[in-house]
Amino acid sequence: MSEEILSEFIEELSKRTEPAPRDLFEKYAQRGLPASEMAAAAMAQAALRGAEVPESAFEKSARMVGELTEQAARQRELEAQRKPSMGGRIARAFRRWLNIEP
């Protein structure tokens, strides 16, 4: 039962912007959820979501990913150029069959 109520509490907590919503604590305390479990949940949420993400780290990572994706796109283009078309492959097979191409 406590697990059910805790899950509902976590669900509501995740929608709130303030780290320690008093009204939510009161509501769930009345439903019998222990303070320590609500406190641990609020602490976990605040700690996990609270870390600031440096803009420089994001940009650096975005550059690395951008280079990788461009490189992959170039590679794909090169492979497409190298690969003969379906028509070309049929013509080549046909010439081979006629023994006019080694």
- CB-wise, 55 or 97, nearer to another protein? 55
CB of 83 to another protein, least distance (A): 13
Binding mask 55-74 for another protein (x = CB under 8 A): --xx-xxx-xxx-xxx-xx-
19 binds another protein (CB under 8 A): yes
* DSSP-based three-state secondary structure for 38: helix
91 binds another protein (CB under 8 A): no
Number of residues that bind another protein (CB under 8 A): 46
Q: Which of 12, 16, 31, 46 binds another protein (CB under 8 A)?
A: 46
For the residues of 40-102, what is the DSSP string, one character each?
HHHHHHHHHHHS---HHHHHHHHHHHHHHHHHHHHHHHHHHHHSPPHHHHHHHHHHHHTTS--
